[in-house]
Amino acid sequence: MADEEFSATVRVTDKGSVIELVGTVNRMAKEGMESAYVQAARSPGEIVLDFKKVDYINSTGIAVIVGVLAMARAEQRAVGALRLTDHYKEVFEITRLADFMHIYEDTASVN
Amino acid sequence: MRKRSKRTGAVRDDSSSSVPDSQTREIEAIEIPPGDTLETILLSSGVPVELSGIEVESEAINRLRGQGVELVVPLIGQGELLGALYLGHRLSDQPYSTDDRRLLGNLASQVAPAMKVAQLVREQQAEAKERERIEQELKVAALIQQTLLPKELPSINGWNVDAFYRPARAVGGDFYDFIQLDDRRLGVVIGDVTDKGVPAALVMATCRSMLRAAAAQHDSPSAVLADVNEHLVPEIPPAMFVTCLYAIIDIEDGQVVFANAGHNLPYVRTSDGVLELRATGMPLGLMPDMTYDERTHALGAGDVMVLTSDGITEAHSPEGEMYGFSRLMGRVAKKTRDEDICSSLVGDLETWTGPGAEQEDDITLVVIRRTASASVSADAFHTGEEALIEFTVPSVEGNERVAIAKVAEAVRSLGFEGSRLEKLKTAVGETVMNAIEHGNENNPDLDVSIRVAVTPQRVTVRVVDNGGDKDIPHAVTPDLEAKIAGDQTPRGWGLFLIEQMVDEVSTARENGHHIVELVMNREGGA
């Protein structure tokens, strides 16, 4: 099983932006994630990371997400997480990322 | 009229049922040999032929005349002489009339197709019976072989042993064996009996028993092969023999002592390339009083020894070209991402032979890889726990995913699923990633060794790298606020995650290795 190449697409919603993540979130995702964040930040409102198509997140990927939270903190913008698997929801709770991100269950909540 | 086999005719000399038996006489069933002149005459005429009208002689004609046959009625089907009716003289002493011959000709034309059908049915029945016999024999041969091949692979710290065996449909005589000689020596056997089916399987079984007995008596591989040869010569059927390589591996220092009775040479892949391990000797069972060269080779950390049977090297491509030794050697030289050499070789062989090709001979592979420069535990042969899987991955970023997939597959059979499985996968991924990046510093020539073992109470995943000279950091709870505020690096989650995911984590340094053991209890737990 190999890492699936990471990509991120920004979609503007009524409430802010959704960054649809695809593939493996590891250190290789840093550039794509930050670039997507910058694009999403052009619109006002919350930025939500959609994990529906993410197959694997490792500790270096968590560091990338922490980096996004740091960027958002700098401009006092809220960041959410959408459609995490149960396992990664638990990982977000253990790492306390869930304390800094609103965890959404479905897309209706963020559109 | 009495039916006879193909190309044979026979009848009484009168078909009238009203004639007393004393006036009739049976004519001997006389076969018409292939190519006999009579065959040619009958096929070309296609009608009843009177022997008195034939001027030439042949074996069949003379014998029929000797029996008093006057008229021969050919039974022809699809241009083939299926048989013939032989008739003697008429009781009335009158010659056969035109009407008689026409009647007999009509009779023959109706009998011939029925005879043809009967012949085909009989042939098919015989073929089906023969096929059934062969299939049964093949099942017996396969059963003998499968019963005697090792049920499990040796599990040795610092070593990875793998084997592949796939019989051909006709079941050849390949075999391999592992013999634990003592606490630090492992005997390895690979052999091939000439011939196929039950005879080969029986010789294989005999040879295996002899090898095990000799291995228990002699410390020297050459003495073992010589001993087996002496016992096998008087027992083995004529024209059969056994090629066999026997090696003794010292699992502490990597020394391999070996002798070879005409088997394929083993290959050893080192960081400098691929070597052939040469030692000469005649196959077993051919002649008495044979002696065998004995050689020694030291396997270093990362070296791989590959033993094969000729089912690999002698496999043919659709164009008829053999797979050959040089291609095999080239394949052994290639490092693959997950270092699953058996799968890699078999995959390449299948590509070579083409899709759907029937396997010509048994295929046997034994791959022995030294993963550590010295045994990482005095208790090299594990006891009290069952090894589910042991493998290595080269230290290449991303190979943690290979390790995750293999471990997950192994523990699924134990009922690990859902949240527990996902946690173990994350812990394994982080541990192997640390071993690749920090322990082996992303050096692709160094491997990370992973072993999954199970007891009734727990599953242990042991990850070993070559970073034993480095300090093992302790897991600390990351300060997320400081990281988000930019006061700390956003990294530093790996060890923390590992500790959170499994029930126990232990670390150790031993003989230059860094060892991490992840433990998941089989009931409850994290």
Which domains occur in chain B, in start order? Answer: 8-121 (no CATH), 149-370 (3.60.40.10), 386-521 (3.30.565.10)
Name chain B contacts of A96, Cβ cutoff 8 Å: 480
pLDDT digits (tens, 9 = 90+) for B290-343: 999 999 999 988 889 999 999 999 899 899 899 999 899 988 888 765 567 888
CA distance B436 to chain A (A): 14
B429 at the A interface (CB within 8 A)?
A: yes
> Which of these, B501, B499, B498, B511, lies nearest to B465 by C-alpha position?
B511
pLDDT digits (tens, 9 = 90+) for B185-224: 999 999 999 888 888 888 998 999 999 999 999 999 999 9
| Residue B273: band (very low, low, confident or very high) from pLDDT cuts 50, 70, 90 | confident
What per-residue confidence (pLDDT) applies to A41?
A: 95
pLDDT digits (tens, 9 = 90+) for B120-137: 899 999 999 988 888 887
Q: What topology does CATH give the domain A7-109?
A: Transcription Regulator spoIIAA (3.30.750)
Q: What residues pair up with B464 in beta bridges, in sequence order?
A: B449, B515
Structural domain boundaries of chain A? 7-109
- B229-242 average pLDDT score: 93
| B11-to-B6, B49, B64, B399 alpha-carbon distances in Å | 14, 15, 12, 83
pLDDT digits (tens, 9 = 90+) for B159-192: 889 999 988 876 778 999 999 998 889 999 999 9
Q: Is the pLDDT at B474 greater than 80, yes or no?
A: no
pLDDT digits (tens, 9 = 90+) for A48-90: 999 999 999 999 999 999 999 999 999 999 999 999 999 999 9
pLDDT digits (tens, 9 = 90+) for B21-45: 556 667 778 889 988 999 999 999 8
What per-residue confidence (pLDDT) applies to B381?
A: 55
> Hey, CA dihedral for B305, B309, B311, B313, is it positive or negative?
positive
Please classify residue B476 by burial: count the beta carbons closer than 10 Å to its beta carbon, then call 0-12 exposed, 13-18 middle and 19+ buried: exposed
Q: Phi, psi (5° rounding) for residue A50?
A: -95, 115
What percentage of chain A has pLDDT greater than the value 90?
Answer: 87
Name chain B contacts of A2, Cβ cutoff 8 Å: 398, 401
Inspect the interface and report whether the beta carbons of A87 and B423 lie closer than 8 Å: yes
- Other beta carbons within 10 angstroms of residue B347's beta carbon come to 13
Q: Is the pLDDT at B115 greater than 90, yes or no?
A: no
Q: What residues pair up with A82 in beta bridges, in sequence order?
A: A50, A104
State the distance between the two ends of chain B, measured CA to CA, in whole angstroms.
90
Q: Which of A58, A64, A66 sits opposite B484 (nearest CB)?
A: A66
Which comes out higher in pLDDT, residue B7 or B348? B348
pLDDT digits (tens, 9 = 90+) for B81-90: 988 999 988 8
Name chain A contacts of B401, Cβ cutoff 8 Å: 1-3, 56
| Residue A32: band (very low, low, confident or very high) from pLDDT cuts 50, 70, 90 | very high
- B486-504 average pLDDT score: 91
Which of B391, B402, B407, B493 to mutate to test binding with chain A, by most A CBs within 10 Å of its CB? B493
Strand, helix or coil at B270?
A: strand
| Residue B145: band (very low, low, confident or very high) from pLDDT cuts 50, 70, 90 | confident
What per-residue confidence (pLDDT) applies to B337?
A: 56
Spatial distance between the Cα atoms of B292 and B62, rounded to a whole number of angstroms:
66
- Dihedral Cα A22, A26, A30, A31, nearest 10 deg: -60
Inspect the interface and report whether the beta carbons of B484 and A2 lie closer than 8 Å: no
- B250-273 average pLDDT score: 92
What per-residue confidence (pLDDT) applies to B173?
A: 85
| Residue B526: band (very low, low, confident or very high) from pLDDT cuts 50, 70, 90 | very low
